[in-house]
């Protein structure tokens, strides 16, 4: 327990608590709960699921070791290190069950299945997707820029979309996105292309993308949202609803001004994730050109055409 208090005194954790306080009291409680109880909960969760307890114990005694763990209830065998087995436990604690089948891992997620090349790629399934992206009625045709493993395409179907058009430039991830969509009956197509990436020949412009009709556009593309700043307003208005992740407060501010000028109502949420441990959102807030945006967060920008 003393090590937990020591960890809480570290500047990085104090910084997380400070940011959590900005979001709200419940965020502080969440941070403290994770700091005190994460590892005990994970360990007891693993005791319920792992058959060969001796191998599991050896992993925690020799932290650089890799062990083959056999899981109960048909989950199969996984060769894991300590960080991977902790991720496995966190997924289990969120009700996400992973099955090792051949050269793939399949995660049972929200009543469907997500295909992945390995357990590490599934860490993003613990993100609060409902708070991030379920901010609209998803009826209609959805543009998904940054499809990853197809988990958001699957969610858009659950939330009411008729068709999802995905852009995912990584060949391996695109292959698993297609498999996820097929497994869950998601109607749509996957393009193995970046969107408006000047440093890659494997890219398509926003002008080409937005020639098609979409009812909603979702962006999680590690920076391609910046390229919207040079897009004519009429192209933005071709899509009535936008939701996107933004990492930079300066870019966020410029995007807000861009969408306001194009005739949208704009809101945003603060999003905190520190090394994949703390992961939650604040409430949706109005934003304009005069709003002071706090630094050190990630941001979800939401735009409705007026």
Query: Do 182 and 79 fall into the same domain?
Result: no
Average per-residue pLDDT for the chain: 89
- For residue 225, pLDDT beyond 70: yes
Question: Domain end: 108, 123, 138, which one?
Answer: 123
Contacts of 57 (CB under 8 A, 6+ apart): none
- Split at pLDDT 50, 70, 90, the class of 241 is very high
Distance between CA atoms of residues 74 and 95, nearest Å: 15
Query: Do 278 and 135 fall into the same domain?
Result: yes
Which domain covers residue 223, as residue numbers? 129-305
DSSP 3-state helix, strand, coil percentages of the chain (rounded to 5)? 40, 25, 30
The answer to whether the predicted template modeling score (pTM) of the entire model surpasses 0.85 is yes
pLDDT in tens, 78-130: 999 988 999 999 999 999 999 998 889 999 999 999 999 999 999 999 999 99
- For residue 274, pLDDT beyond 80: no
Name the residue with tokens 């920076």.
223
Looking at residue 191, what is its pLDDT? Answer: 97
Distance between CA atoms of residues 128 and 134, nearest Å: 10
- Split at pLDDT 50, 70, 90, the class of 10 is low
Question: Domain end: 93, 108, 123, which one?
Answer: 123
* pLDDT, average across residues 261-286: 84
Question: Domain end: 66, 100, 123, which one?
Answer: 123
Query: Do 48 and 80 fall into the same domain?
Result: yes
Q: How many structural domains does the chain have?
A: 2
Query: Do 49 and 92 fall into the same domain?
Result: yes
Query: Do 165 and 242 fall into the same domain?
Result: yes
Distance between CA atoms of residues 254 and 184, nearest Å: 37
Query: Do 107 and 138 fall into the same domain?
Result: no
Distance between CA atoms of residues 213 and 194, nearest Å: 19
pLDDT in tens, 152-161: 999 999 999 9
The distance in angstroms from the start CA to the end CA of the chain is: 54
* pLDDT, average across residues 239-263: 95
148-162, 190-204, 209-223: the lowest-pLDDT one: 190-204
């Amino acid at each position: 327990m003393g090590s937990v208090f020591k960890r809480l005194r570290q500047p990085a954790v104090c910084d997380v608590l400070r940011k959590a306080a900005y979001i709200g009291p419940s965020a502080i409680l969440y941070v403290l709960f994770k700091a005190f109880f994460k590892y005990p909960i994970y360990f007891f969760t693993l005791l319920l699921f792992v058959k060969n307890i001796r191998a599991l114990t050896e992993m925690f005694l020799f932290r650089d070791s890799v062990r083959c763990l056999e899981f109960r209830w048909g989950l199969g065998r996984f060769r894991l290190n300590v960080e991977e087995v902790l991720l496995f436990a966190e997924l289990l604690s969120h009700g996400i069950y992973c099955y090792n089948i051949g050269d793939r891992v399949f995660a049972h997620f929200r009543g469907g299945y997500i295909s992945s090349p390995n357990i590490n790629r599934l860490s993003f399934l613990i993100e609060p997707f409902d708070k991030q992206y379920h901010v609209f009625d998803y009826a209609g045709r959805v543009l998904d820029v940054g499809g990853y493993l197809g988990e958001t395409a699957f969610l858009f179907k659950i939330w009411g979309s008729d068709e999802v058009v995905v852009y995912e430039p990584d060949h391996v991830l695109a292959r698993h996105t297609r498999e996820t969509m097929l497994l869950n009956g998601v109607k749509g197509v996957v393009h193995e292309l970046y969107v408006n990436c000047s440093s890659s020949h494997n890219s398509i412009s926003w002008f080409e993308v937005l020639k098609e009709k979409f009812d909603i556009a979702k962006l999680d593309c590690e920076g391609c949202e910046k390229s919207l700043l040079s897009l004519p307003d009429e192209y933005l208005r071709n899509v009535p609803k936008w939701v996107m992740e933004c990492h930079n407060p300066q870019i966020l501010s410029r995007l807000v001004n861009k969408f306001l000028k194009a005739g949208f109502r704009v809101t945003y949420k603060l999003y905190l994730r520190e090394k994949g441990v703390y992961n939650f959102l604040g409430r949706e807030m109005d934003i304009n050109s005069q709003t002071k945006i706090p630094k050190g967060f990630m941001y979800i920008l939401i735009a409705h055409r007026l």
